[in-house]
Structure 1
Amino acid sequence: MLCHNQTSVNRLLEAQDLFRGDFRVRFVVVLGEASRFGSGVPRLLREAGVDRVVPWHALAKERYDLALTASENVDFATITGPVALLPHGLGFNKTVPGGLAGLPDASALRTGRVHIVLSHPDQEAQLRATCPEAAGATLVTGDPTFDRLVASLPLRAHYRRLLDTTGRRLVVLASTWGGESALGRRPDLPRRLLAGLPADTYRVALVAHPNIWAEHDARQLAVYYADELDAGLLLLPPQAGWHAALVAADHVITDHGSLALYAAGLGRPLLLTGAADETVPGSPVDDLRHAAPRLDPSGDLVAQLSAADPSETRAVADRVFAHRGEATERLQDVLYRLLGLDPPDGGPALRRAPDPTPLGHHRVSAFRVRVTSRSPGVLAVDRRPAAVHPPSDDRHLAVEETESNLRLTEKASVIYRDLPADPATADTWAASMLDAFPFATLTATDAGRGRCLAVARDGTRIVLTSSAPHPEVPVLASVAHHCLLAPGPSALTVDTGHSRAPIRLEITRPG
């Protein structure tokens, strides 16, 4: 296995699973020559249990029957015997200096030893028109990754639960790498999405290309997007996250990368961040650009997400994914044929999408909240994460007592905690918080049995009783703040978009 960068390593490790249980096959892992995006490759290999790695300069001393690679940028001249070039993306949709991304140099193809694995017959015609030497060097198997995604769809509820999206809509922002990518054009796009979408109705996940992770590493990305992580961003590492995110997604926002085609194939409503000059004219990605609406980051995000129609883009995927449901078996047959072996009986395993492991994810503990009377007796609560949403006159700041950014706590109108407390303990806690944070108007805590006790600076006490199985103290705290300033009926319905529950209020004013 010829490992070049993180993208190729991930693909090769997936392909290695096609040989499980076969003692006839032994793998030699070769680390390629220095790549701009080679950072993290040794770590990925170690995490996969690969302890013996051969440097590229020692490849000539190794004996092997088949070379597996997922990069066209390896030195094919130093490789003896047949080579299977697995795709690291979907087709040939991008131009690079000298030709198409994913296509080896013509001199390598002239040897007759390089076999390019494709996901659709249309790619054969494209390569022959671009590089006549590709004729006879292609093998169409379909796309095992797409089959894996489709097979994982019945587990959608499982992945949504792991991503904490139950009752909310999951927006996946996916970015390829480079200056024309979603993050290359707008590195603040995650922030805009988090600030522009109601926190109780939407969750936002970011899937960044492995080359972005290689260029910046996990710690740097966590620093870049520290506020967004505080605002609830799900930052998904490339080896364990994007598959599950696409299965779980309700909406996908992306660029000209391969994930746009996967999203279209899965029937996900799609918004694109813009066109790229490097896109090959007439390619599926180019067709997708004409079929999918373009995101306006400054516009009404909810309206744009709601208007996206998957029927407009799903047909494009028909030009990308051939042999659906058969790709894993077909790829296994191809690789064993190149080895001169019969594949094992029973066919290969079809692995479900791995569970997602968001980086540095934690619960949002500070919100800019707007409470409005939508109709008589109905209060609409719109919460936006304070870490990314600027102050505004029509919103108050509500902060949990454990909020890590004390600058927010110092400016909060409402301080709450989700810890159950008896009235005496709640009063003591309220007095200490109101004394420590002079800007606060009101505190709120869980009073048990579906009740929330709010204590105002002027001594007013508000008990809110909810019929919901698990009343949300952060929401009830903001309702109490609204009712303190704008008294209304004692029976209300609170609508967060995520949930709708009736509550009763008992307000006791001092004196």
Structure 2
Amino acid sequence: MSRGAGSREPGAGGAGSREPGAVWDTFGYERTVLVVARTLTSTYRLLDALDLFGDDFRIRFVFTVNATSAFSDGVPDVLRDAGITPIPWTRVAAGDVRYDLALSASENIDFEHIRAHTIVLPHGLGFNKYVPDRTGTGQRLAGLPPERVLRDGKATVTLQHPEQITQLLAACPATAGRTAVVGDTAFDRVAASRGLRAHYRAELGTGNRTLITLASTWRTDSLLGRRHALPLHLLGELPADSYQVCAVLHPNIWARYGRHQIHLWLSSALDAGLVLMPPHAGWQAGLIAADQVLTDHGSLGLVAAALDKPLLLSTPTEETVAGSPPHLLARSAPALAPDAPLLPQVEEARAAHRPGQYAAVTSRVFAHTGEAATNLRNLIYDRLALAPPGPHAPTRRIPLPVPLHRRVRSHVVQTATPADGSLDLIRFPASAMRADYPMDAHVVADETEPELKIVERAAAIVRRQVLDAVEARTWARATLDAYPGARLALTATADGCWAMVRGAGEAWIGSPRWQPEDVATAASALYCCWLNRTLGDRAVTVRTGARVHEFSVRFTPSSTAPAAP
């Protein structure tokens, strides 16, 4: 790790700064670190960094919120959920708080009120874009503290790569001796978690489908800023049994609009099966689990490239610094065409990907891989004039995600009959229904489908909850009476499903590996038999994505019903 110059003495209050109320303490800590939160993004990065200091009773961390950002909303809630009661910023500004070092992941805190040296952590990857200044009328290089702060030696800026030293010196000579290259702790955690990929996919319910992760930064030139409905359009074009779609939104989006508004804007996509990662965690698992990433000029595109994921990038933006890694990545990765069909673009980009094709770009982003936690911890201990508790800091792997993920209750189904006589089903979520589906496609709706119009359009209505034969008949009759547009009503039974075909008869459908959720697949198989006038006692082989279903059908015409096997 390379370091800049500066004093290593503890800050305000001298060594071992303690609050006046220390008489009430249980633990005799020696140093206090003031952690300055400002935005959701910076707060999450700070909370992650503090994992490096577990079990060390010598240091106490106290939080405060410098709520000077348009994206400060929600920060107190995040801290509260983490079990943290922040000190009011007014006390910090008044000089009523004693501490030895300040820690922040924002370059925009009010440094004039900080009375100790500040270590500034990155909240993204490098210094790659221009963003609005605090007045909203100009631009500044994201990640760089004010020149006067650096000139006065009040802060050390941690860097992820030695190349950034040269970049910052050219942009601001006052950075000389005020930086420390430590690596990137967030990426090291991602890299250390790659072995958990199967666990993340299991938690997301991906199975053997191809997982497409959308990773969008903020502002109008971001991926979703340009294409608001991209998640829904993907879900409407990618077959549901072959693809899953996950979305990761920049925390600034959540802070700006709030959870309710975002869920409202994405409501149809969520009903169509979109996996939505929360703002505080999950982006790492979403990238690791992905088979392909659609993204923009934000930091997650570089992380995905370092993970060697096939990429599709939105067109470059003017805010990206020319010659920076995001700028180079945008020139080397396939571009997402705004008006072309999505499925061919996704498949072509994945087929064209070659392992290691982005290594030349990502080698300029990540340095000291696997060492960042130890480097950062040692830098902080050095500033506190304390010896680190051991030679290596822990690198904690990413926990299982807890995303928002609704079950898809209804599908629009297209069918194909290969030469072997089997039946291929190509299914799309009904809530993402497009106008250009073939006329011979049919809708299979779960009885719990929240959108009434979908149920009213359904050719088949299904129930996943298991009923016995008598209950099944009663339910099926009532369902067909309630929805005159439906041709079939099917419900799961203990060993298959029971179906009533309007004006034709009843059927029992079974399978050697029957699961209650197979009732929707069985509904399409039975509907196609009815449509093709092949309804009778028979075997039907059905494919949904990579899965093969072997169904046996026992059909009884008119009013007599077969005895369940």
TM-score by shorter chain over 0.5: yes
1:436 corresponds in structure 2 to 482
1:327 corresponds in structure 2 to 372
Q: Distance in 2 between matches of 1:353 and 1:116?
A: 25
Q: Distance in 2 between matches of 1:56 and 1:328?
A: 32
1:133 corresponds in structure 2 to 174
2:448 corresponds in structure 1 to 402
1:493 corresponds in structure 2 to 541
Residue 57 of structure 1 deviates from its aligned partner by 5.5
1:41 corresponds in structure 2 to 75
2:418 corresponds in structure 1 to 374
1:181 to 213, 219, 222: 222
Residue 129 of structure 1 deviates from its aligned partner by 1.3
Provide Cα deviations, 1:149-185, integer angstroms capped at 9, x if missing partner: 1111111111111111112121111110001011111
Letter in structure 2 aligned against 1:389: M
Aligned positions of 1:182-221 closer than 5 A? 182-221=223-262
Q: Distance in 1 between matches of 2:209 and 2:358?
A: 24
**Maintained 8 Å contact 2:525/2:540:** no
Aligned positions of 1:227-376 closer than 5 A? 227-296=268-337, 298-308=339-349, 309=353, 311=355, 312-345=357-390, 347-359=392-404, 361-376=405-420
Distance change in 2, residues 1:369/1:192 (3 Å) = same
**Maintained 8 Å contact 2:201/2:289:** yes
Aligned positions of 1:57-96 closer than 5 A? 58-59=92-93, 60-96=95-131
Q: Distance in 1 between matches of 2:471 and 2:377?
A: 65
**Maintained 8 Å contact 1:266/1:314:** no
3-state SS in 2 of match to 1:304: helix
Provide Cα deviations, 1:288-332, integer angstroms capped at 9, x if missing partner: 101111123553433323333153324321111101111111111
1:510 corresponds in structure 2 to 558
Provide Cα deviations, 1:388-435, integer angstroms capped at 9, x if missing partner: 113542321111111122222122111001122333322211110000
Letter in structure 2 aligned against 1:201: S
TM-score, normalised via structure 2 length: 0.87
Distance change in 2, residues 1:507/1:165 (3 Å) = same
Residue 469 of structure 1 deviates from its aligned partner by 5.0
3-state SS in 1 of match to 2:335: coil
Deviates more, 1:112-121 or 1:95-104: 95-104
Q: Distance in 1 between matches of 2:407 and 2:211?
A: 16
Q: Distance in 2 between matches of 1:327 and 1:372?
A: 53
Provide Cα deviations, 1:349-404, integer angstroms capped at 9, x if missing partner: 22111221113x22110111112213232211111111111354232111111112
**Maintained 8 Å contact 1:192/1:297:** no
Distance change in 2, residues 1:43/1:102 (3 Å) = same
3-state SS in 1 of match to 2:368: coil
Provide Cα deviations, 1:325-348, integer angstroms capped at 9, x if missing partner: 111111111111122211112532
Structure 1: runs of 5+ lacking an equivalent: none
**Maintained 8 Å contact 2:91/2:97:** no
> Could you tell me the percent identity over the aligned residues?
45
3-state SS in 2 of match to 1:479: helix
Structure 2: runs of 5+ lacking an equivalent: 1-34, 132-137, 560-565
1:17 corresponds in structure 2 to 51
3-state SS in 1 of match to 2:363: helix
1:456 to 483, 501, 506: 501
3-state SS in 1 of match to 2:88: strand
TM-score, normalised via structure 1 length: 0.95
**Maintained 8 Å contact 1:28/1:54:** no
Distance change in 2, residues 1:314/1:441 (3 Å) = farther
1:123 to 140, 164, 180: 164
Letter in structure 2 aligned against 1:432: A
Q: Distance in 2 between matches of 1:352 and 1:25?
A: 24
Residue 453 of structure 1 deviates from its aligned partner by 2.7
2:64 to 22, 30, 50: 30
**Maintained 8 Å contact 1:371/1:479:** no
Which structure would you say has the larger Rg? 2
Residue 115 of structure 1 deviates from its aligned partner by 0.8
1:414 to 453, 460, 463: 460
